[in-house]
Structure 1
Amino acid sequence: MSISHTDGVLLGAAYYAEYQPYERLEADLDLMADAGLGLIRVGESVWSTWEPQDGVFDLEWLLPVLDGAHQRGIRVLLGTPTYAVPPWLQRKHPEIAVRLRSGRSVAWGARQEVDFTSPVFRRYAERIVRRIVGRYATHPAVAGYQVDNEPGLHLLHNPEVFASFVARLKQRYGDVATLNERWGLTYWSHRLSSWDELWPPEGNTTPSYDLAWRRHQADLTTEFIAWQAAMVRELAQPGQYVTTCLAVTRPAVDEVGVNRALDVAAGNLYYTAQDELALPDPGRRHDGGWFGQGVWQLFQSADRARGAKQAPYLITETNATSIGGSHTNHPPYEGQLRQVAWALVARGARLVEYWHWHTLHYGHETYWGGLLGHSLEPGRVHGEARRIAGEFAAAREALRGLEPDAEVALVRSTESDWAFQHQPPLAVPGTLNPDPRSYARIFGAFYKGFFDAGRQVRVLSVPQLHEAGTAEELAARHPVLVAPALYAADDATLALLDGYAHAGGHLLLTFRTGYADEEARARAEVAPGPLRTAAGVHYLEYSNLRAPLPVRAAEGSGLVLGPGARAEEWADGLVVADAQPLAYYEHPHFGQWPAATTKAYGRGRVTYAGTLPDSAFAAALAEFVTADVAGGLPRWGDRPASVTVASARNADGDRLWFVHNWGWEAVAARPPEEVADVLSGERFAGGQGVPLGSWDVRVLRAQRRDSRP
């Protein structure tokens, strides 16, 4: 398998000729070609068009779209329609409807209403997938396949799913005595004497049960996508790839697990535009929602997308204009589409595809804007897309084989996220209500710290951490490793982190890391458990903070804190053994404990943050843990507050700098080395100001003596 556009970057759009209010296929395709679109996504949402009645197929309606695209040099990503079932299937087999936690079945009328594990559903799904792929696999326009769409929307509470869950538990634990012990079922008289006494999940309050249930649900989604991918590959042609479009906030998805069966990771990346993309933004926090706010969340989402397979990825959906609904009409300012497209490329995207080409005239997503509005006339947004596509084409050789740089790796734990959704450590801001988005807030706070400090991040999953090799190899590849709130972790993972630091890496630990085991049971040892010796601190108590606390740097610590730095939400009562305090709370009670510490350990170092840092505190910690990274990237020095810089190496070994100005005021940024603008050919000496207009981006190539722009 090869991804046909790995050497370059394509701009594309989802296209639904079947949704248009009148026949305009040729006009649409001409406009796409004129705009330089290189790929369209088709077919994934219209099972009832492919199969209007049970066993009655209409496969030819798509042929003119594929033929017309091929004639204009536009590639096609062909979708399977299994996420949007037709009315006749729901009426014929109402038993395949999703059962929710409440016991209620999901009423038909939206999408993803069916239990995709049902053998009945699978039979119909296989039939339509084989028909579609069998018909079009040999069409020269088809570059690849998207199986299903945004899977994992529901946690399935159907009786058959619960039965498969019990079978999984039997296989893992062997007998109920072991399950009783591992889950602590003595509590509240939950001890089982036989497997048929296991209560259904809708009544569950046991954390270990909940974590096992979430693992099972994600595995079901992974298996479903793998099942479709294997089926498609039987029929696909050499060189065609298989992917799906992920929405990583879906409750039944493990983004790393589901991508193992796919050739390339792909997903949607939506963001809030206009002033939400302005920098600086010191107060923004990650709310854990689908539509990220702030430039740093755009980059975080991109780094997660690349982290799914540690490889180039596709953006199969992103903003064209307004997103969300009829009451949220906030199209990007002039220049912001271009900024975002280049930011995604900087972090490894090989396709930036808008959802969608034309704004729909009916249906639930009537006001989810496309490159063309309801008038279907090209305007400002179409013109900006045309500019982006032209720049991608002009920069094709420079972008070949692009590998984003990273100076720090953040370990993301899906299982800790699930565990925190059941027992959140944080409250919803301004309330005493538990916040199921706690993990996203904690991970986001530390990501933002490195982003604000101008450091680039690679996101690793816990399984990928183990796959990276020995502790020594991990330390050699990732000189700084951050484990934010790695709560549900087995002994082997914590031992690897310990070994990583001892072998020479700088490990940044945070509150809640190492606190629970792989069953989400609080460890019966002094926190931070197996990492206590490495960290050089321990704690016997902790507290949520009702209000932010100022923090001050410890004298001689080397941590540089501004006057506005604060600790928020949480405080571990850290007792120092042989670590060095970095910062203290300014408070009559909490001030007895350090807010952060550091310790030399073996050939490396362990830094511990016992609180949720605000933006200033997080950036200071990021600066501290990366200060001694050998062979780091050249620094751009004092950048205007609205400017970000990202970098990557291409197949020729050249470094590309992606320099953005996220604001209205024209500015200049000074590169640390001689560069040439990839698009204009302008040259700038090291230290010379590179001008940027409002909402502007420059793509610069570092100049070697034998290189040319």
Structure 2
Amino acid sequence: MPDLSDVTRGRILYGGDYNPEQWPEETWHEDVRLMKDAGVNSVTVGVFSWARLEPRPGERDFGWLDRLMDLLHEAGVGVVLATPTASPPPWLGRLHPETLPRDEDGRTEWWGGRQHFSHSSAAYRRHAAAITEALAARYAGHPALTMWHINNEYCTYDHGDEAAARFRAWLRDRYGTLEALNTAWGTAFWSQGYGDWAEILPPRRTHYLKNPAQVLDFRRFTSDMLLECYAAERDIVRRHTPHLPVTTNFMPLWFGQDGWRWAEEEDVVSVDLYPDPRDPLGAQEGALVQDLTRSQARGPWMLMEQATGAVGWRDVDQPKPRGLNRLWSLQAVARGADAVCYFQWRQSRQGAEKFHSAMVGHAGPRGRAFQEVKRLGADLARIAPHVSGTRIAADVAVLHDWHAWWAATQEARPFSRADPPVVLRAWHRALWEAHLTTDFAHPEHDLSRYRMVVAPQLYLLTDAAVDNLLSYVRGGGTLVCGFLTGIADRDDRVRPGGMDARLRELFGIRVLHEWWPLPAGETVGCDGFRGTLWSEELEADGTADETVPYRGGELDGLPAVLGKGRAWYVSTLPEPEALRGLLADIAAGAGVRPVLDRIPAGVEAVRRGDLLFLLNHGRAPVTVEVPGGHRDLLTGETVTDRAELGRYGVRVLAS
């Protein structure tokens, strides 16, 4: 299958969403001139143009897009052509109200915004396929076309009648019989036993708590239905252009899609990334999403959207300070991106996102945003021949599974504050600040190439996943698991003993007596550090080699951390410095080393291929010791032993 390298060809794709239908055609010529000035070589076109392309049912208006495609080709700008199916035109909802999704209360989501479609609607799928077929047939041979972008940020839910029918069909395929479904859902509780498939509904509003297994399956179903929509359009464009790669853009760490399964269906994995510039951990949030996306892609990936400045949806929506856009863009390249793109090219004057920044802002080409865009374009052109297509080697894997997340994030749990993304971010931060490069992996993936694997929290683990972790440790790998791991099976059924018995034996736990969540602001004493968010009443079986006990309070003297051979269990969330030290020490014992020996605080060091990226996330200048001689690809300077980095400075060093 084609992939990103078929489009980049030794370049880094640079550009963004281009929405020319918002502007008179004379503006297009200025746009193309400015694109060439900024080094833009790729734009995404058509994401929200369905109403323009099909103003009335069956009527096509492609003339404007023909002229645009020709203009971009003449300027040497490639086109990632989007199917416009994320935002159907008003006529579709008016003529086919069944295409509009309904929430759990039965309320309709109307047109007037975006993403107002039911993934289960046969009428929606039929009309989406028709406009996709027309686009693919018309532009398959156009020389500007380089890639397909299907829909946009798939994120819809539907609890309506058509979705209910599809849900029942999905459940029939999954379970086969009502007896098997009743067993999996535990319907003996609260008299929920189903005697007819017609009785089963999506998890609509109930008087009290919903059946958690039903909710879990509905989340699985929703991800699968959206994937069906994607695959249907993908297959249409593939039939016309089998040589061109196809993508759709994930949102960062998005709850509603099984990202591992979705990534297998994409030729190019792409993501939209909008860390808050006011967040002191914004760079770490970016690194986490970049590591996850690279791991889903199993190689180079595409940063489909980011912002040059403000985004328009935050309560305090500040722009990026000078230099931060460049820094975070080059961070993405350091962590595997071969495409750096934005939403959007020219800032809208009307509509809901007119205060969302753009490559050409309201200030025009003299504005700071465009001037920084030009500088970044030049930077990317300098380093592209050396970095495009290269890989990143990681000795550490962080385990993440959407099904475990879905199961853990439900009503009536003792751990509502211990939200999986909160714990995931804390553990990734510890590894990031210890300068340990990490991949992400599914708990059933082959983990043998990693020296160390960490599972911050995997409440739900299948039997296959547990077997995989045990096999990994038996094979000489080092495993570190956080609290609430291995609690439930695939149907959200709590395992006997409150944790999988094989894992208890692996970690040296005789009994898990009780879970002790901590209220907001409360900590628990441990030998040498404070624990946050969570604690557990564990009884050790005496086989652990190392134990860190709780100190004080109800759990005094009981184990907070257990280390047995190459398996570790951490039953609380240590404060950031303590977690960093713990994981760094375990990593060192597993033979994992930081990228450099001495790295100043606030500096990120990443190796991609033969290149060393140094990124200063602080405003103060710093000096980094880099033994030997290097050439900075951004400046052409020779760097010997010491690299100077200014405010938000970046070095890309070749030995």
Q: TM-score, normalised by structure 2?
A: 0.94
Whole-Å separation in 1 of the counterparts to 2:388 and 2:353? 36
- The residue aligned with 1:58 is 61
- What is the aligned counterpart of 2:234 among 229, 233, 252? 229
Cα deviation, residue 22, structure 1: 6.8
Alpha-carbon contact 1:408-1:455 (below 8 Å) kept: yes
CA distance in 2, matches of 1:349, 1:314: 5
Deviation at 1:587, TM superposition (A): 1.9
- For 1:270, the equivalent position in structure 2 comes to 274
Counterpart in 2 of 1:652? none
Aligned alpha-carbon RMSD (Å)? 2.0
Contact 1:326 1:367 in 2 (8 A): no
2:424 is equivalent to residue 443 of structure 1: yes
Distance 1:172 1:484 in 2: 29
Which residue number in structure 1 is paired with residue 607 of structure 2? 647
1:590 aligns with 2:555: yes
Residues 677 and 699 in structure 1, CA contact (< 8 A), matched pair in contact too: yes
Find 2:176's aligned residue among 174, 177, 180.
Answer: 174
The one-letter amino acid of 1:173's match is: Y
Give 2:94's match in structure 1, choosing from 91, 96, 117: 91
1:615 aligns with 2:603: no
Q: Given the alignment of the two structures, is residue 184 of structure 1 paired with residue 186 of structure 2, yes or no?
A: yes
Report if aligned partners of 1:371, 1:381 keep a CA contact under 8 Å in 2. Answer: yes
For residues 515-541 of structure 1, the C-alpha deviation after alignment (integer angstroms, 9 at most, x for no partner) is 100001111235343211111124221
Q: Give the whole-Å Cα distance in 2 for the aligned partners of 1:5 and 1:347.
A: 17
Contact in 1 for aligned 2:136/2:236 (Cα 8 Å): no
Q: Does 1:211 align with 2:216?
A: yes
Distance 1:8 1:22 in 2: 29
AA paired with 2:430?
G
Distance in 2 (alpha carbons) for counterparts of 1:401 and 1:118 = 40
Match of 1:453 among 434, 437, 442: 434
Q: Deviations over 1:477-496 (max 9, x none)?
A: 01101122111111111011
**Separation of aligned partners in 2, 1:370 and 1:200:** 40
Cα distance per residue 1:123-182 (max 9 Å; x no partner): 21111111112111211111111011111x222112122122222222332322222222
Paired with 1:104 and 1:514, the residues of 2 have a C-alpha distance of 37
List runs of 5+ in structure 1 lacking aligned partners. Answer: 279-292, 428-433, 469-473, 554-560, 650-654, 704-709
What amino acid is aligned across from residue 566 of structure 1 in structure 2?
Answer: R
Q: Are 1:575 and 2:536 counterparts?
A: no
Q: Secondary structure at the match of 1:395?
A: helix
Q: Which runs of 5+ in 2 are unaligned?
A: none
Query: Partner residue of 1:625?
Result: 586
Pair 1:338 & 2:340 matched: no
Partner of 2:523 in structure 1? 549
The within-5 A match list for 1:19-418 is 19-20=22-23, 23-151=26-154, 153-202=155-204, 203=206, 205-236=210-241, 238=243, 240-248=244-252, 250-273=254-277, 275-276=278-279, 278=280, 293-325=281-313, 328-418=316-406
1:648 positional shift: 1.5
Contact in 1 for aligned 2:408/2:460 (Cα 8 Å) = no
Change (3 A) 1:187 1:329: closer
* Other structure's SS at 1:570 match: coil
Distance change (3 Å), C-alpha of 1:424 and 1:503: farther
8 Å Cα contact 1:256-1:309 kept in structure 2: no
SS at match of 1:451: helix
- Corresponding residue number in structure 1 for 2:624: 669
Give the whole-Å Cα distance in 2 for the aligned partners of 1:325 and 1:188: 42
Distance 1:527 1:256 in 2: 25
Q: Distance in 2 between matches of 1:359 and 1:500?
A: 50
| Deviations 1:421-446, CA, capped at 9 Å, x for gaps | 2147576xxxxxx45x8010111111
Q: Corresponding residue for 1:471?
A: none
CA distance in 2 between counterparts of 1:683 and 1:215 reads 53
What does residue 690 of structure 1 align with?
Answer: 643
Question: Which of 497, 501, 508 matches 1:536?
Answer: 508
Matched residues in 2 for 1:183 and 1:552: separation? 39
CA drift of 1:237 comes to 5.6
* Alpha carbons of structure 1 residues 76 and 101: separation in structure 2 relative to 1, 3 Å: same
Counterpart-to-counterpart distance in 2, 1:268 and 1:638: 33
**Partners of 2:296 and 2:578 in 1: CA distance:** 29
Q: Is the 8 A contact 1:407 1:478 kept in 2?
A: yes
Partners of 2:385 and 2:482 in 1: CA distance: 42
| Cα distance in 2 for residues equivalent to 1:142 and 1:328 | 39
- Letter in structure 2 aligned against 1:518: R
Q: Against the structure 1 CA distance between its residues 181 and 227, is the aligned structure 2 distance closer, same or farther, given a 3 Å change threshold?
A: same
Q: CA 1:633–1:585 in structure 2 vs 1: closer, same or farther (change >3 Å)?
A: closer
2:253, 2:477 → 1: CA distance? 31
Give the Cα separation in 2 of the matches to 1:536 and 1:192: 41
2:476 alignment partner in structure 1: 504
SS in 1 for 2:585: helix
- Structure 1 distance, partners of 2:498, 2:332, is 43
Contact kept, 8 Å, 1:221 with 1:252, in 2: the verdict is: no
Residue in structure 2 matched with residue 637 of structure 1 by the alignment: 597
Rounded Cα–Cα distance in structure 2 between residues aligned with 1:425 and 1:674? 56
Answer yes or no: is 1:524 the counterpart of 2:477.
no
Per-residue Cα deviation, 1:501-524 (whole angstroms, up to 9, x for no partner) = 111000011111111000011112
Residues 294-339 of structure 1 deviation map (CA, whole Å, 9 limit, x = unaligned): 2111100111111223221111110112113385441111111111
Structure-1 separation of matches of 2:224 and 2:22: 34
Matched, 1:656 2:594: no
Cα gap change, 1:64 to 1:174, in 2 (>3 Å) = closer
C-alpha displacement at 1:194, in angstroms? Answer: 3.0
Q: Which shifted more, 112-121 or 413-422? A: 112-121
1:376-425 Cα offsets, whole Å, 9 max, x none, are 33322211111111121111221132212312101101011111221475
The one-letter code matched in structure 2 to 1:567 is G
Change in Cα spacing, 1:542 to 1:235, as seen in structure 2 (3 Å) is same
Shift of 1:183: 2.0
